[in-house]
Amino acid sequence: MKNWIPLILLLLVLSSCKTRNAAKKNNSNSQDSTIVVKDDGNPKDANEPVRDKITFFEHVIIPPKFDQIKISSKVNVETGSFIPTLDATIYIENNKKVWMNLTAFLFTVARGIATPDGVKGQDKTSKTYIDSDFEYLNNLLNVNFIDYKSLEKILMGRTFVKISDSQFTLTKNAQGFKMTSNGNQKIVTDEKTREYKITLQYDTNYDLLNVNLKDVLSPDELEISYSNWDEYNGIRLPKNVKIIIKGSKSSQILLENTKFDFSPMETPYSVPSSYKKIEIK
pLDDT in tens, 142-161: 777 888 999 999 999 999 99
Tell whether the model's pLDDT for residue 216 goes beyond 50: yes
Tell whether the model's pLDDT for residue 220 goes beyond 90: no
Give residue limits of the domains in the chain.
Answer: 4-257
Q: How is the chain split among helix, strand and coil, in percent rounded to 5?
A: 10, 45, 45
Residue type (1 letter), 80: G
Confidence grade of residue 123 (pLDDT, cut at 50, 70, 90): very high
pTM for the complete prediction? 0.81
User: Which of 242, 254, 258 shows the shortest CA–CA distance to 210?
Assistant: 242
Judge contact between 25 and 153, C-beta under 8 A.
no
Fold that domain 4-257 belongs to in CATH: outer membrane lipoprotein receptor (LolB), chain A (2.50.20)
Judge contact between 263 and 67, C-beta under 8 A.
no
C-alpha to C-alpha distance for 180 and 195, rounded to whole angstroms: 14
How would you classify the pairing of strands 208-215 and 86-93?
unpaired
Tell whether the model's pLDDT for residue 215 goes beyond 60: yes
CA angle 64, 256, 76 (to 5 degrees): 130
